[in-house]
Amino acid sequence: MAQSTLTITPLDPVGAQVSGFAGSDFSPEEKQALNQAWLDYGVLLFRGIDSAEQHLALSRCFGELEIHPIKELRDEDNPFFFPLGGPPMVAQVYDEQDIRVGRIPWHRDTAFRPEICKGSMLRVLEARTSQGETLLGDTAAAYDALPDEVKQRIETLEYIAEVSHGSPDYLGPANWWKTARMARDDEYPEGVEPPRDIQWPDNSGLRPVIYPAVLRHPESGRACLFLSPMNIRHFLGMSEQESEELVTYLVRHMVEPRFVYRHHWSDNDAVLWDNRRFIHAANGYPATESRLAQRTTLADKMHAGRPLETVAAE
């Protein structure tokens, strides 16, 4: 194999930064090295991705791209992009004092379908603020650190997941705030116009699915704590209280700082994460600031669960 110019530098405490590339052309050797690094680290950071063409080319080093299943979330000019940020900006109030936009609880992408996406690459075109970090949690490392008795308890457990359970006012272990609500018009900062006629995505056609609590990564074979905290309804075969206690314990364990890389964005940063192994969350940023970003999604899906309707037939 030809010598690669790529440099892989581990991040703290998980993930790695990739440097030593330019343009949109990647050799077979570079693609192989990139894929191995991604398999090893699960999260890769790239800096200086200064065009949509380079974003798409880099994303395709890891597989074909898919179009987001929710039509309202697609970019009008290029359906392979899922735009984030920009007007209109919908503000929410957290803990009755922190007004933010773009805050998203812990979750896996498309963790409301029997087959989930392989991974995603998020590129921030305009950061404009030092706030608005993205957090990425390594669920393989989190599983490894569980006590043996907990691993045995959850080995065959399954849970119900649904897209609507992560609504803005939902309070649960996926969040790190105690209260949340939409901001009133009079709470928007001076000079920030409250958005009008917001079109919320139609999720009515997305039915609940059943996922295992533990899933082996299809390439590495590593066991992952396969929870999408924002989407969990409850564990099967448990009382509501027992399920809630276990979910809370597992999610709090998953998001301990020793398993989480916290990325502070600069313009033209791009972060790729393995959706089969990592969960992620967005801290949001002040309503006086703005951000422009776009995400690509890898199409090589992993079969992870089954429709809820199959439970009654088993």
For 275-297, the pLDDT digits (tens) are 999 999 999 998 888 888 999 99
The residues with which 181 forms a beta bridge, in sequence order, are 93
Domain locations in the chain as residue ranges: 7-194+202-313
Residues 111-150: pLDDT tens digits?
888 999 899 999 999 988 778 899 999 999 999 999 999 9
Q: What is the residue-wise DSSP string for 29-66?
A: HHHHHHHHHHHHHSEEEE----SHHHHHHHHHTT--EE
Q: Sort strands 119-126 and 7-10 into parallel, antiparallel or unpaired.
A: unpaired
pLDDT at 145: 98
Tell me what percent of the residues of the chain surpass a pLDDT of 90: 62
pLDDT at 11: 98
CA-atom Rg of the chain in angstroms: 19
Residues 173-211: pLDDT tens digits?
889 999 999 899 999 988 888 887 766 666 666 789 999
Residues 294-310: pLDDT tens digits?
999 998 888 999 988 75
The residue type of 132 is G
pLDDT at 202: 66
Tell me what percent of the residues of the chain surpass a pLDDT of 70: 90
Angle formed at CA 261 by CA 257 and CA 264, multiple of 5 degrees: 120
Residue 162: pLDDT band by 50, 70, 90 thresholds? confident
pLDDT at 134: 96
Please give the Cα distance from 94 to 179 (Å, whole number).
6
pLDDT at 193: 86
Please give the Cα distance from 181 to 93 (Å, whole number).
5
The mean of the pLDDT values for the chain is 89
Please give the Cα distance from 294 to 204 (Å, whole number).
25
Q: Identify which of 251, 13, 10, 304 has the alpha carbon closest to the alpha carbon of residue 139.
A: 251
pLDDT at 312: 47
Listed range (27-41, 82-96, 113-127, 136-150) with the worst mean pLDDT: 82-96
CATH topology of domain 7-194+202-313: Double-stranded beta-helix (3.60.130)
Please give the Cα distance from 257 to 253 (Å, whole number).
9
Instruction: Tell me phi and psi for residue 125, to 5 degrees.
Output: -80, -45
| 38-58 average pLDDT score | 95
| 208-229 average pLDDT score | 96
Residue 24 vs residues 54, 244, 272, 294, 310: alpha-carbon distances, Å: 5, 47, 16, 17, 45
* Cβ atoms of 70 and 43 closer than 8 Å: no
Please give the Cα distance from 277 to 139 (Å, whole number).
6
Listed range (33-42, 67-76, 158-167, 264-273) with the worst mean pLDDT: 67-76
* Cβ atoms of 161 and 112 closer than 8 Å: yes
pLDDT at 122: 96
* Cβ atoms of 268 and 88 closer than 8 Å: no
Give me the sign of the Cα torsion angle 112, 256, 98, 172: positive
Angle formed at CA 167 by CA 163 and CA 171, multiple of 5 degrees: 115
pLDDT at 1: 30
Residue 2: pLDDT band by 50, 70, 90 thresholds? very low
Instruction: Tell me phi and psi for residue 155, to 5 degrees.
Output: -55, -40
pLDDT at 165: 52
Residue 269 vs residues 59, 123, 239, 295: alpha-carbon distances, Å: 13, 6, 44, 12
Task: Produce one character per residue of 94-110: b if its CB has 16 or more CB atoms within 10 Å, e if not.
Answer: beeeebbbbbbbbbbbb
